[in-house]
């Protein structure tokens, strides 16, 4: 009975992993010039605010870099995959509840 349960869990994990990889492969590549036409003042405004924040707190640069690579202005339909990932691996999920 236990082996059947383990097999079911393994199949469920495999299906979820496949679904996550399948949706990720449809993403468009990042474009460094995306905001040039949409909002040309974005980069100078962001640069000014970041420079001011780093001047006040030098560790802010590292914090922003970590944030950037975690969630780099990604437009997604739902955050359920990320929340499920955190739950599976025992990570904190309190920031999802504020939405």
Residue tagged active-site, from 70, 77, 92, 99: 70
Q: Of 72, 84, 86, 79, give the one whose Cα is nearest residue 35.
A: 72
Q: Of 30, 23, 25, give the one whose Cα is nearest residue 82.
A: 23
Counting beta carbons within 10 angstroms of the beta carbon of residue 62, is it exposed (0 to 12), middle (13 to 18) or buried (19 or more)? exposed
Residue 71 in marked binding region: yes
Would you call 33 a catalytic residue per the annotation? no
Residue 76 in marked binding region: no
Q: Give the single-character DSSP code of 73.
A: S
Instruction: List the catalytic residues.
Output: 70
Please enumerate, by residue number, every residue annotated as part of a binding site for Ca(2+): 71, 74
């Amino acid at each position: 009975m236990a082996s059947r349960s383990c097999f079911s869990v393994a199949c469920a994990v495999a299906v979820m992993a496949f679904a996550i990889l399948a949706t990720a492969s449809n993403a468009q590549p990042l474009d460094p010039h995306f905001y040039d036409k949409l909002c040309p003042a974005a980069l100078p405004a962001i640069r000014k605010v970041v420079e001011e924040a780093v001047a006040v707190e030098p560790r802010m640069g590292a914090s922003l870099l970590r944030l950037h690579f975690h969630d780099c202005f990604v437009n997604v339909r739902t955050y359920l995959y990320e929340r499920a990932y955190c739950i599976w691996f025992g990570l904190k999920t309190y920031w999802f509840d504020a939405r």
